[in-house]
Structure 1
């Protein structure tokens, strides 16, 4: 089997991808909250977002030399999280004040 492509690594990569999608999407919502002056929501989203990021990045940095594919999952999660954040914001209209 190719180095870094065992089942455990792929599953960890999927977890990293999903967690990164979640935290980047939260970042989109947090940014909108900041612009709108919603300090409590921005505080909560920021706390959760950075807490998730710390766990994710420490996992990737700890393992990337043996499993470089985790860096790909991390980058894909970031890119996808931007798109998901935009779609999510459009669906719930969080950025629109009525």
Structure 2
């Protein structure tokens, strides 16, 4: 029985199919975790980022040890590269779905912004707005701080009331509780708790 298992691990099926598949999936895992770790570091998540980093490095070390043990196996190299590329793609998709964090949305419109402002306020979004001078005419500038997972909702409101408005989105690392009396995602702040 032991001879069969040793033969299996030294055979072509294992070396050129099973091992590369294991390397491929390990690379997907560690690169996906690495992508999420970088996002958590940029968001200041001091507990989650190191934990993700621990698992990322452990998986990477195991994968690299298998590459070194099979240094003459070109299929393992291809699997390693393909796993890296796929892991980046999957990590970005997961990060997009998680929509972690807070963003500042800036809307600039030449059209009258009163309906848009009223609709954003009615939706519970705190806004700041002012008139400004654009390149050729006066414009309205609207700012709001929202959770990243609410961006599509706010953009739908904008497209409904000012479809030609220009907008930009910036990541926000932190906000001041004192200045966030109308910050919708955390209603406890609104109630003064």
Pairwise same-fold verdict (TM > 0.5)? yes
In structure 2, distance between residues paired with 1:43 and 1:77: 22
* Uncovered stretches (5+) of structure 2, i.e. residues with no partner: 1-10, 103-146, 148-193
In structure 1, distance between residues paired with 2:23 and 2:59: 10
Instruction: Write out aligned runs for 1:10-89 (5 A).
Output: 10-65=17-72, 67-89=73-95
Q: Which has the higher strand share?
A: 2
Report deviation, 1:64. Answer: 1.9
In structure 1, distance between residues paired with 2:25 and 2:98: 20
In structure 2, distance between residues paired with 1:92 and 1:33: 11
Deviations 1:12-68 (A, max 9, x none): 111110110010000010001101110110010000000110000111011022x22
State which structure, 1 or 2, has the greater radius of gyration over its C-alpha atoms. Answer: 2
TM-score by length of 2: 0.46
Q: After TM superposition, which residue ranges in structure 1, 4 or more long, deviate above 3 angstroms?
A: none
* Uncovered stretches (5+) of structure 1, i.e. residues with no partner: none
